[in-house]
Amino acid sequence: MAVIYGGRSGEHEVSLRSAKSVIDAMDTSKYKVLHYLISKEGRWHPRPIVPEPNGNPEIDVAFPVLHGTFGEDGTVQGLLELAELPYVGAGVLASSVSMDKEVMKRLCLQRGIPVADYVILRNPKTSDLGPIATKLHFPAFVKPANLGSSVGISKASSHDQLRSAIEMAAEFDRKIIVERGIVGREFECAVMGNEEPSAATPCEIIPSREFYDYEDKYLLDKAQTLIPAPLTPAQTAEMQRIAVEAYRAVECEGMARVDFLLETATGKFYVNEINTIPGFTSISMFPKMWEYSGLPMPKLIDRLIELAMARAEAKRSLRYSR
């Protein structure tokens, strides 16, 4: 078992914490864990706990615990496909399109899944902000299109704030997404499976700040989480249904966390993001939702590895040449 973590993204530190939780929860009677740390500069540092006598340990399956760019976006998944190594989590396509918030929204809309209205900026320095504010109204949320953990995200309530938010987001990505601000509540729903995915009991996130940003997620330790989410049975079932539909819309396998907004004025659910390598830190909700649903962390890891091996076995029967 090769656990790959760290990486070049702005979520490097979060990845380290997630990987520690995954490794600590692994059943050492089942798995011999090989550590592969990727530095912020992109260098790989193999750190096997028990090296093979010949110095070349065998890898049966890889568990990429890499968040954000160069890890959750299909790049590492492509490398593992080339190496013909089974790996935990979504494949190249689902990883790539889920990472790109615009493409994810397009696929959800095509499947009839509601997402917040948005505008894409590809030349933020020269864009006219007037039409954007007119179309979406304030407040609006400005995000790098390809980043996670709320890195580079800002809330804008005026033209000046919008310009500043766009400038900050442009430091992280060439493509910027500006979304209509939805006044309401925030939820998360864990999904797992290959051909027959299922959703866990969802949770509600109650931020300690204006919205659930990076500091609120990982630094302040003040946000509240409620499992089960205080919803009616019908609302819970509807969120789980939409979560599975979104999962299928991006052709996901393995696992994902689908984030939701529930608009107060309309009572309507909107899919906010799909995270194909959700956090596994001590405060991360993906493992907590599954634990509440009856699958504690060691069993969750077992199941994810089983799904990885099943997908690899199914692909071995395919032909790639005439």
Whether 259 is a known active-site residue: answer yes
* Residue 187, token pair as written in the block: 């939820």
Whether 218 is a known active-site residue: answer yes
Q: Which of 7, 8, 9, 11 does the annotation list as catalytic? A: 11
C-alpha 83/C-alpha 78 separation (Å) is 9
C-alpha 266/C-alpha 277 separation (Å) is 31
Whether 257 is a known active-site residue: answer yes
Whether 84 is a known active-site residue: answer no
C-alpha 145/C-alpha 118 separation (Å) is 11
Contact 116, 270 (CB under 8 A): yes
Q: Which of 98, 149, 150, 284 does the annotation list as catalytic? A: 149
How big is the chain, counted in residues?
322
Q: Which of 7, 68, 89, 279 does the annotation list as catalytic? A: 279
Q: Which of 68, 275, 284, 311 does the annotation list as catalytic? A: 275
Q: Which of 179, 213, 216, 273 does the annotation list as catalytic? A: 273
What is the secondary structure of 144-210 as a DSSP string? ETT--TTTT-EEESSHHHHHHHHHHHTTT-SSEEEEE---EEEEEEEEEESSS-EE---EEEE-SSS
Whether 195 is a known active-site residue: answer no
What is the secondary structure of 252-292 as a DSSP string? --EEEEEEEEEETTT--EEEEEEESS---STT-HHHHHHHH
Q: Which of 118, 152, 259, 311 does the annotation list as catalytic? A: 259
Q: Which of 257, 270, 284, 311 does the annotation list as catalytic? A: 257
Q: Which of 218, 247, 254, 272 does the annotation list as catalytic? A: 218
Whether 279 is a known active-site residue: answer yes
Q: Catalytic residue positions? A: 11, 149, 218, 257, 259, 273, 275, 279
